[in-house]
Chain A
Amino acid sequence: MSLSTAIVIKKSFWAYGTMLGKFLSAGCLGILLGLFVTFVEIEQGKGFVAIEAGPWTGWPRSEASVIDPFSRAILVYSGKIALSESEAMSFVAHSDSDGAEFNSACDYVVKGEIPPARYWTLTLLSPAGALIANPAERQGFTSSELLRTSDGQFEIALSRHARPGNWLPLDRASKFILVLRFYDSELSAPATALDAAHMPVIVKGRCE
């Protein structure tokens, strides 16, 4: 092998090396981008099957096979699959009826109409789905234990300070969401056309 052939071989080897490097870095960049988009979509997305009614977002109580893989990934990731697939039809609210995100420095009142169900519960959770500790050890209400007015109406007060009647304590430091669950309800029917007027409203009160 002459010296010149050796140099040519070496050169082409280098060219091949940089080409491979380019391919690898493009591949890595692509994978990173793909994972990033997946993360953002799953974190922010609601999927294709979500039902919206006022501040509430619900997922049909599906026999999971009818859910598209995208919605399924979102539900699994958020832990909400446990809700949507179990016995209840569930709705989550991250904001009040005016669309403003919940702020634990403010008072809120949940009131109004509620769709018919054998039982329903309203629970206050952290955005990750954990219960929030409070001295009153009160994390939610069931439809049975609520105090109601004589005409059957109810009001649930969310506040850092004790309130008469139905009071859900807020923690100053914690972000929160509300979860409304209907057990044994006609709402389980697929493609429920839910009218926001038939769901409770969440009204913001005084803020500190």
Chain B
Amino acid sequence: MNRLDRLLAALLWLLGILAVAGITLIVAIFVLPEVAAKDTYARILALAKPGQAALLPPARPDTQFMPFADPAMVQSVCPFDLADGGLRLHADVEADKLLSLSFRTSGGQVFYSMTDLAAQQGKIDVVVLTPAQLEVVEADDDEDDPSQDLRLIAPETMGYVIISSLAAYPGERAEAEERVKSVACSVEQVAQE
């Protein structure tokens, strides 16, 4: 082998290494969020069963449920598994007190979010359903007395709802906790076809 041959061979190896590095980079970028989301969902399920709400422990310097939590926020989580039926959420809204709901898949993607400003007559009623369940529910609808529920189609059967409220003053924490705890979360039976 002369010098040029060696140089070309080395270049070829280098290209090979770079190609493997590139593939690794792309795979890692795609896999990382999946792994992290599974971890979050597992931690949420350890805290509450599907169809039940549980208060997230408040962020303290030594313990935190999630990093970058806002210490002024009080949050609860309600996981759902639509295989067991739909998820019903009901909240009575206090005037001018921040209450926000975000609906997420088990992978952590938000598919809907709302605040107390979207309440109808001081109430929020949401039902999370699969497309098949929505058809069943709509078939049962009374045309003269339409349901006031907000019906959401979840892109996946498993997911969770984060319910948050703000303690605007440190002394309002207990009050904010009550507000978050008053949001009722339950499994809604949907007749199977």
Contacts and interface: CB of A to CB of B under 8 A. Distances in A.
B170 interface: yes
Interface string A28-59: 01110111011001100000000000000000
Given A26-B17, A123-B71, 13 more contacts: A26-B13, A26-B16, A29-B17, A31-B21, A33-B18, A38-B32, A41-B25, A63-B111, A73-B29, A82-B67, A85-B102, A121-B72, A128-B67
A87 B164 contact: yes
Question: Most chain-A CB neighbours within 10 Å: which of B64, B67, B68, B167?
Answer: B68
B184 interface: no
Contacts of A179: 68, 70
Interface in A163-185: 179, 181, 183-184
Contact of A184 (B21, B66, B71, B115): B115
20 contacts: A26-B20, A30-B17, A33-B20, A34-B20, A35-B25, A37-B25, A38-B24, A42-B32, A72-B33, A76-B33, A81-B33, A86-B102, A87-B115, A123-B71, A129-B64, A131-B61, A133-B61, A140-B71, A142-B169, A144-B169
A24 to B, nearest CB: 11
A112 to B, nearest CB: 21
Interface of A: 22, 26-27, 29-31, 33-35, 37-38, 41-42, 62-65, 69-70, 72-73, 76-83, 85-88, 90, 118-119, 121, 123, 125, 128-133, 139-140, 142-145, 179, 181, 183-184
Contacts, number: 152
Contact of B71 (A31, A42, A131): A131
B23 interface: yes
B169 A81 contact: no
Interface of B: 13, 16-25, 28-30, 32-33, 36-37, 59-62, 64, 66-72, 98, 100, 102, 104, 108-111, 113, 115, 117, 162, 164, 166-170
B168 A76 contact: no
B91 to A, nearest CB: 14
